Amino acid sequence: DIVMTQSPLSLPVTPGEPASISCRSSQSLLHRNGNNYLDWYLQKPGHSPQLLIYFASNRASGVPDRFSGSGSGTDFTLKISRVEAEDVGVYYCMQALQPPRTFGPGTKVEIK
Amino acid sequence: QVRLVQSGAEVKRPGASVKVSCKASGYNFIDYTLHWVRQAPGQGLEWLGWIDRDSGKIQYSQKFQGRLTITRDTYATTAYMELSRLISEDTAVYFCAREGQTSGWYEGCDYWGQGAPVTVSS
């Protein structure tokens, strides 16, 4: 199974400031079709997860452009250009390259 | 609009089985793969398996092989997840999630059900 790790696990943020979360996989997520099968999800308190990013850098429909994803192979990053209060929750990366799909442990983002 | 509506909370005894449903609407049901994911209290997300959009082929996490059954009723546009021989560690919220696609290209799990809490307790 592909093991996913994230850092930091806890991230206090100041509204209006940028934030960054790192995700690493135990093997490359780069498919022969040229896409990295890495998603980012946000789970707000008391809610189901919601898709932010797929293929490492493609923003899902309706996701604000302050969210961006980057990286390739085994190292990926989610960036929030200017954090807003509504961005609090737990952020998960997930590899979609092969079964079993595996998630990172999650990064809890909270307002300072 | 796309909706995934799951069945309600369940309380089960150890050793029993639980069946959770996921009613899909607002899209062509068989055009999208459906995943099942669970979340134990205070814990992260754990993938259970999927049912493929075209073939209906099922892929299970090896961890649950033999205890987990995923099915679908295309007429009722409903998917089901049944977990047997329950233990206390199966206490979790169980989510269904649609895998988005356009012309076969992967687009992440774009819609999720509201979650179905399952408690296993004697």
* Chain B residues near residue A49 by CB distance under 8 angstroms: 37, 45, 95, 97, 109, 112
Which residue type, as a one-letter code, is found at position A44? K
Compute CA distances A59 → A19, A42, A49, B36, whole Å. Answer: 17, 13, 15, 23
**According to the model, what pLDDT value does residue A30 have?**
98
Give the pLDDT confidence of A62-103 residue by residue, as tens digits: 999 999 999 999 999 999 999 999 999 999 999 999 999 999
**According to the model, what pLDDT value does residue B104 have?**
86
At residue A55, φ and ψ (nearest 5 deg) are 50, 40
Nearest to B115 among A37, A48, A102 (CB): A48
**According to the model, what pLDDT value does residue A20 have?**
98
Does pLDDT of B24 surpass 90? Answer: yes
Question: How much of chain A exceeds pLDDT 90, in percent?
Answer: 100
Give the pLDDT confidence of B31-87 residue by residue, as tens digits: 999 999 999 999 999 999 999 998 899 999 999 989 999 999 999 999 999 999 999
For an interface test with A, the pick among B27, B39, B46, B47 (most A C-beta atoms closer than 10 Å) comes out as: B47
Cα A49–Cα B38–Cα B112 angle in degrees, nearest 5: 35
Within 10 angstroms of residue B41's Cβ, the number of other Cβ atoms is: 9
**According to the model, what pLDDT value does residue A5 have?**
98
